Amino acid sequence: MKNTLKTLYKKDKLTMITAYDALFAKIFDNIADIILVGDSLNMSFLGESDTLNATVDQMIYHTRAVCNGAKKAYIVCDMPFGSYVTPEKGLENAVRIYKETKADAVKLEGGAEKAEHVKLLTDNAIAVVGHIGLMPQFSRSEGGYIVKGKDEDSRKRLLEDAKAIEEAGAVMLVIEGVKEDVAREITESVNIPTIGIGAGRYTTGQVLVWSDMLGFFEEFKPKFVRRYLNGAELVRDAVKKYAEDVKNGKFPGEEEIY
Ligand code: KIV
Ligand code: NA
């Protein structure tokens, strides 16, 4: 049975993982409660240096793939940078995502200043997941990936942002790169599930980027990532073995010939 907000709201620990294609989405389905088609795909899948030049077309393409692979998970599609510069533009693009994919919700980055956007989408029957704290779409304007909630001003701002997004109708809230005590306070002050990444132990759920947690993205490992697999190493070894077998005339073998 397909995960819905109703079934997810009953759980007290939610697991979210990203996926960008049908193959991995099918493997993660039935294990993770929620699959996020994150605009992080622009970095790990496309190899760009940040998420800023991801497009709506790109997000739709990958979300269709994920929806084809995952039948149970609740699926969230990121709205890319520039696709919600006004509430109206956000609605137009979110409607496209809803019409051209089977995503259950869209996610957008921002706090109180995005409340209007969240409300307009919500009023038009689109479920919205918020994203506050360290917001990768702000990496260029802020000059890097900066952990939030380290001082009183930042703490207050985050709490206000979370409240504003909840009141505007968001169904869930991703909290990224925030001090644990502040993420905990946010989680205790809102009535929607919070999903943390680099936000400590007390959010309702956790999210990790699949290529980070499975060890396929080797360039760097942020502190909050736990590597559950040495994916790149395993794949490299397997492909080496294949190349050796071809060179040595061991592949194809007797059983692999018509
Ligand atoms: O794009 C992404 O993968 C995300 C997660 C890090 C939350 O937004
Ligand atoms: Na994202």
Separation of 167 CA from ligand 1 center, angstroms? 23
C-alpha torsion angle, residues 219, 131, 173, 152 (rounded to 10): 100
Q: What is the pLDDT of residues 176-198, one digit of tens each?
A: 999 999 999 999 999 999 999 99
**If you take atom 1 of ligand 1, which residue's CA is the nearest one?**
38
**Cα gap 30→71, rounded to integer Å:** 8
**Cα gap 181→163, rounded to integer Å:** 17
Percentage with pLDDT > 70 across the chain: 100
For ligand 1, whether the C-beta of 18 sits within 6 Å is: yes
* pLDDT band with cut points at 50, 70 and 90 for residue 218: confident
Contacts of 124 (CB under 8 A, 6+ apart): 91, 94, 95
- Burial grade of 31 (CB within 10 A; 0-12, 13-18, 19 or more): exposed
Q: What is the pLDDT of residues 198-215, one digit of tens each?
A: 999 999 999 999 999 999
**If you take atom 4 of ligand 1, which residue's CA is the nearest one?**
38
39 annotated as a binding-site residue = yes
Looking at residue 207, its pLDDT comes to 98
CATH number of 5-227: 3.20.20.60
What average pLDDT does the segment 1-26 reach?
Answer: 97
pLDDT above 90: residue 157: yes
Contacts of 214 (CB under 8 A, 6+ apart): 227, 228, 229, 231
Q: What is the pLDDT of residues 44-85, one digit of tens each?
A: 999 999 999 999 999 999 999 999 999 999 999 999 999 999
Task: List residues bridging with 174 in a β-sheet.
Answer: 131, 195
**If you take atom 5 of ligand 1, which residue's CA is the nearest one?**
38
Separation of 10 CA from ligand 1 center, angstroms? 24
Separation of 65 CA from ligand 2 center, angstroms? 17
Q: 14 φ, ψ to 5°?
A: -105, 140
* pLDDT band with cut points at 50, 70 and 90 for residue 219: confident
Looking at residue 22, its pLDDT comes to 98
Q: Is 92 part of the annotated catalytic residue set?
A: no
In contact, 124 and 151? CB cutoff 8 Å: no
Separation of 151 CA from ligand 1 center, angstroms? 24
pLDDT above 90: residue 91: yes
Looking at residue 36, its pLDDT comes to 99
Domain boundaries, given as residue ranges, for the chain = 5-227, 230-258
Q: What is the pLDDT of residues 94-147, one digit of tens each?
A: 999 999 999 999 999 999 999 999 999 999 999 999 999 999 999 999 999 999
Strand-pair category, 105-109 with 205-208: unpaired
Looking at residue 221, its pLDDT comes to 86
pLDDT above 90: residue 242: yes
In three-state secondary structure terms, 207 is strand
**Active-site residue, selected from the candidate residues 116, 142, 176, 218:** 176
Q: Which two tokens mark 122?
A: 């919500």
pLDDT above 90: residue 148: yes
Looking at residue 17, its pLDDT comes to 98
**If you take atom 8 of ligand 1, which residue's CA is the nearest one?**
38
Task: List residues bridging with 15 in a β-sheet.
Answer: 206
Task: List residues bridging with 128 in a β-sheet.
Answer: 106
**Cα gap 138→201, rounded to integer Å:** 25
Site to substitute for ligand 1 among 42, 63, 78, most atoms within 8 A of C-beta: 78
